[in-house]
Amino acid sequence: KTEAETAPKKDSTEQFPKSIAEPLVTDIYTADPSAHVFDNKIYIYPSHDIEAGIPENDNGDHFDMRDYHILSMDSVGGPVTDHGVALDIKNIPWAGRQLWAPDAAFSKGTYYLYFPVKDKEDVFHIGVATSKSPAGPFTAQPKPIAGSYSIDPAVFEDTDGKHYMYFGGIWGGQLQRWVTGKYDTLGKEPEGDVPAIGPRMARLSKDMLKFDEPVKEIKIIDKDGKPLPAKDHDRRFFEASWMHKYNGKYYFSYSTGDTHFIAYGIGDSPYGPFTYQGVILKPVVGWTNHHSIVEYKGQWYLFFHDSILSKGKTHLRSVKVTRLQYRPDGTIETINAYRE
Ligand code: FUB
């Protein structure tokens, strides 16, 4: 199926649903929000969506973003600051096209912006840029992170101070081309009962610029301990990794892509395996669903995006935030971004 076939159908007479949250900014389109608390503020590292005039396809060519803007706020619901251009594709020496979902981390006085972009041969890798300020501007390293591939880096700092990067995305994110460890343009998403392709992870080096160990595939398993099968599109990993820790457990959350859920699994180690638990966020207006989860002043929040502001244009999204609640057993209440 193409994106156009699976996207929620809209016609000019159809009303969009009433959202539970408003866009954080409305003068630019923003997506893929990675939120962190730095210096007692929330900083949001989103993609910066633009109308590049490229027709929609399954490769995601219409997501042709060229820079990043960082947002910050002192309180959820308070004013949001757009800090302007933090990194431009022109200043990434190895970049070809498509700056997709970024993330950020802090270590020893330096902020790190991690970003996926296609190289000049049209292959996605993950780059890193540094700044002394969480809002940038950031200076890109001359080359991508050695051994990195695919998209959607999410960097998690564990309570012992170690940092881990989770990454990968199938279809346009090219992860299916890396299953043998080497890039293969013929690589396809598997079908049927074989295990689905898993997200990837690696611990970061102390200087935050390299992988400190070989990249590993993460297992998302069902309650019987079996890996989710490739045919299970309602639950299998597609893209948009995020990791957070709650009450000593590791929560790996992700998008199911063509079924449009944000789903999650829980594990006892940052390496998994993660046992599938359910849906955090139901499908939103627009094809993609992408999120982050952060605690701020004792409350947990879900950052996400949708395409209501652009009246359903899948590549013109807006970042939003809402509260996230845990049940007493540690599972997460499913969120519907729209009023019933
Ligand atoms: O924004 C471009 C891509 O769309 C992201 O990298 C994916 O996660 C999806 O949101």
Residue-wise pLDDT for 206-252, tens only, equals 999 999 999 999 999 999 999 999 999 999 999 999 999 999 999 99
Does the pTM exceed 0.90? yes
What 3-state class would DSSP assign to 89? helix
| Cα 113 to Cα 129: distance, rounded to the nearest angstrom | 5
Average pLDDT over residues 11-22: 79
Amino acid at residue number 131: S
Residue 69 has pLDDT above 70, yes or no: yes
Residue 6 has pLDDT above 60, yes or no: no
CA of residue 178 to ligand 1 center, whole Å: 18
| Cα 178 to Cα 93: distance, rounded to the nearest angstrom | 24
Please check whether residue 139 is in contact with residue 130, taking contact to mean a CB–CB distance below 8 angstroms: yes
| Cα 65 to Cα 117: distance, rounded to the nearest angstrom | 9
pLDDT tens digits, one per residue of 282-325: 999 999 999 999 999 999 999 999 999 999 999 999 999 999 99
pLDDT tens digits, one per residue of 92-117: 999 999 999 999 999 999 999 999 99
Backbone angles phi, psi at 115, to 5 degrees: -145, 145
Which one of 6, 28, 45, 47 would you pick to mutate in the ligand 1 pocket, going by the greatest count of ligand atoms within 8 A of its CB? Answer: 47
pLDDT at 8: 47
* Complex ipTM value: 0.98
Query: Percent of the chain at pLDDT above 90?
Result: 95
Ligand 1 atom nearest 240 alpha carbon:
8
Average pLDDT, the chain: 95
How far is residue 313 from each of residues 59, 70, 273, 286, measured CA to CA in Å?
16, 22, 36, 6
Query: Percent of the chain at pLDDT above 70?
Result: 96
| Cα 211 to Cα 225: distance, rounded to the nearest angstrom | 28
Query: Which residue carries 């999120």 as its tokens?
Result: 291
| Cα 220 to Cα 199: distance, rounded to the nearest angstrom | 9
| Cα 295 to Cα 236: distance, rounded to the nearest angstrom | 26
Question: For this structure, is 32 an active site residue?
Answer: yes
Query: Which residue carries 């929040």 as its tokens?
Result: 301
Residue 4 has pLDDT above 80, yes or no: no
pLDDT tens digits, one per residue of 149-187: 999 999 999 999 999 999 999 999 999 999 999 999 999
Beta strands in 256-332 (DSSP E): 262-267, 274-281, 291-296, 299-306, 318-323
Query: Which residue carries 């998690």 as its tokens?
Result: 156
CA of residue 50 to ligand 1 center, whole Å: 13
Residue 7 has pLDDT above 90, yes or no: no
| Cα 256 to Cα 315: distance, rounded to the nearest angstrom | 17
Which one of 28, 56, 63, 292 would you pick to mutate in the ligand 1 pocket, going by the greatest count of ligand atoms within 8 A of its CB? Answer: 63
Residue 256 has pLDDT above 80, yes or no: yes
Residue 13 has pLDDT above 60, yes or no: no
pLDDT interval class at 14 (50, 70, 90):
low
Residue having the nearest C-alpha atom to atom 9 of ligand 1: 288
What 3-state class would DSSP assign to 3? helix
CA of residue 288 to ligand 1 center, whole Å: 7
CA of residue 328 to ligand 1 center, whole Å: 32
pLDDT at 164: 99
Q: Is the CB of 219 under 6 A from ligand 1?
A: no
Considering the candidates 3, 103, 152, 239, report the single residue annotated as catalytic.
Answer: 239
Query: Which residue carries 């880096």 as its tokens?
Result: 153
Question: For this structure, is 122 an active site residue?
Answer: no
**Nearest CA to 46 among 70, 66, 82?**
70
User: Which residues contact residue 284 at a Cβ distance below 8 angstroms, ignoring those fewer than 6 apart?
Assistant: 260, 304, 305, 306, 307, 337
Average pLDDT over residues 11-36: 89
Amino acid at residue number 16: F
pLDDT at 75: 97
Q: Is the CB of 32 under 6 A from ligand 1?
A: yes
Residue 1 has pLDDT above 80, yes or no: no
